[in-house]
Amino acid sequence: MIFYILLGVVIVILISGLKIIPQSKAFVIERLGAYSKTLHTGLNYVIPIIERVSNKVTLKEIVKDFDPQPVITKDNVTMQIDTVVYFQITDPKLYTYGVEHPISAIENLTATTLRNIIGELELDETLTSRDIINTKMRSILDEATDPWGIKVTRVEVKNILPPRDIQEAMEKQMRAERERREKILQAEGEKKAAILTAEGEKESMILRAEAKKAAKITEAEGEAEAIIKIQKANSEGLKLLKEAKMDQSVLKLKSFEALSKVADGKATKIIIPSEIQNLATMGTVISEMLSKDDKETK
């Protein structure tokens, strides 16, 4: 009976040495207090009583968001900066035996590194040089954590919190800068509007001038055409008179008709040429002779 009990105890002890290690995990094994081996994913066996699991290490990338740290810039401005560190355990043995409390060690190393970097920068450079700060911190932390079996993959400055009075001054400066830009944009808009208005008025004046010019040209062309037609008609009339071989008396009669048109009942004094007076006298004589002939005929 005791044999079976002892046998059962031995079987349980032997079975307890079976270790199933999940994915992305590693077990650090000690044998009689000294490092023995590192077990990785799968079914493994640990000798009971002689060997024990010293540390269970995750091989996934770890993200640690550390509390804000007070830092002083080159121009003696104290501010609060908190960082986020991304790291991965590459050597479980070094991670287990390299440093006591590795996460705390990384936090303290991050704080001291951040103070050293920010201490070389002024306030304005600190606010505008996040990429430079991130790159320097990652390089320094990665090199410092190599003996601990840790690979720092990325460091990000999460927040930069200057003192309240500096924040207020920065906000005023930003508002002033926005107002300045707004005024510049408004002035540029008004300038463009004035230019467009002036160009529109200029084009309108040019169009009106061109319209007046075209109207005057058209009017002048019409008058010139009328004058040409009148001269043409006069020329044709003279040509016809010449072809008809009109005598001097007809020409004098035409002159008299032209003179009557000149008077037109409006002139108070008319000077009649001697030729027209002679023609009138001759007309009177001809009228008397014609009346005498009529009486004798009766």
Q: Tell me the pLDDT band of 271, cut-offs 50, 70 and 90.
A: low
Q: Mean pLDDT over all residues of the chain? A: 79
- pLDDT higher than 80, residue 272: no
Q: pLDDT tens digit string along 195-216?
A: 888 888 888 888 888 888 888 8
In the chain, residues under CATH classification 3.30.479.30 are 61-162
Taking phi first (over 0 means left), then psi (-120 to 50 degrees means alpha), and beta for anything else, what does residue 264 get? Answer: left
Q: Tell me the pLDDT band of 162, cut-offs 50, 70 and 90.
A: confident
Nearest Cα to Cα of residue 21 among 74, 52, 71, 57: 57
Lowest mean pLDDT among 47-61, 164-178, 252-266: 252-266
Domain 61-162 in CATH 3.30.450.40? The answer is no
Percent of the chain topping pLDDT 70 = 79
Q: Which residues of 90-116 are buried (b: 16+ CB within 10 A; e: fewer)?
A: ebbbbbbbbbeebeebbbebbbebbee
Q: pLDDT tens digit string along 82-111?
A: 899 999 999 999 999 988 888 899 999 999
CA of residue 218 relative to chain centroid, distance = 50
Which pLDDT value is given to residue 266? Answer: 53
- pLDDT higher than 50, residue 54: yes
Beta bridge partners of 157: 83
User: Is the pTM above the cut of 0.85?
Assistant: no
- pLDDT higher than 80, residue 160: yes
Which pLDDT value is given to residue 250? Answer: 53
